[in-house]
Amino acid sequence: MKKGRIGNSALEIAPLALGGNVFGWTADEPASFAILDEFVAAGGSMIDTADVYSAWAPGHSGGESETVIGRWLKRSGKRDKVVIATKVGFMAGLAPETIAAACDASLERLGVDCIDLYYQHKDDETVPLADSLGAFDELRRAGKIRAVGLSQFSAPRLEEAMRVAKAERLEPPCALQTWYNLVEREKLEGPLLDAAVSNDLGILPFYSLANGFLTGKYRSRDDLGKSPRGLRNAEYLEGRGMRVLEALDEIAAENGAALATVALAWTMAQPGITAPIASATSLDQLREMVASLNLELTAAQIEGLNAASA
């Protein structure tokens, strides 16, 4: 398994990132610790979280995921084995004072001295990019973060961010996190992909398994009640969704692999992709994910999935 750099940064990671959105929510602390342990043992090296995870859950206020990861880092002693990515600004915006305070809070919850990759969680057009990127640059110069990422930016705003960083002599973003999977290719492919590639950004897609749809778990409306995220899959049951599952079934049988393994291997093989992000609430789910690190699809299999998902 070959590691790759995230854009033009010095950060090197395996081609699959572990999503931390479930930690402290649908995966309790013991389950989260077991998943983290096995992910690293299998060769995984990047853990992705955010300060807002999991503020949407009853009784939660955000920061739960970072707290669980911080406790795991302290217990495991594996800080030097992983790249930690977290985010700021999803709810509170990207004013410089908000960024500074949020970074300090994330550092404390994670129990680390420096965040490897710090993202603007989503674009905040009420704050000039020179101000938000300037705040990130101050954090980098203070040794609190190593690299800058953008999440959920449009192509024009990504291009503007890169121009501003260059003009203001600020640390340029090295990563783009965006929505992308076999049933929603249009979320990335086209101008956004072109902008990311032309600016040498590493692309780390989220929703890589389409809320679990690409695992084959949801094949009819009766299946949608199987999990808290099931109802989000109703739209995938129409159009290309079932064609993609049929293609995944065929290729999974050819390779003796799970559908999730094949779907992630397809994403890894796409132009510009550094590592898809996927989360697991059980070791069985994790094992299907990390198997993608060792699955190389044939050109014919990739083309078959391309055709089914077009």
Q: Which two tokens stand for residue 211?
A: 């809320």
DSSP 224: G
174: which residues sit within 8 A by CB, 6+ positions away?
A: 6, 7, 8, 9, 11, 117, 147, 148, 149, 200, 201, 202
Position 133 pLDDT exceeds 80? yes
Position 171 pLDDT exceeds 90? yes
71: which residues sit within 8 A by CB, 6+ positions away?
A: 29, 33, 111
Classify domain 4-215+267-295 at the CATH class level: alpha beta
Position 188 pLDDT exceeds 70? yes
pLDDT in tens, 6-45: 999 999 999 999 999 999 999 999 999 999 999 999 999 9
Distance CA 9, CA 200 (A): 10
pTM: 0.96
Q: Give the type of residue at 305.
A: L
- Residue spans per domain, the chain: 4-215+267-295
- Look at 101-110, 223-232, 250-259 and tell me which has the smallest mean pLDDT: 223-232
Q: 54 preceded by cis ω (within 30°)?
A: yes
Position 276 pLDDT exceeds 90? yes
Mean pLDDT of the chain: 96
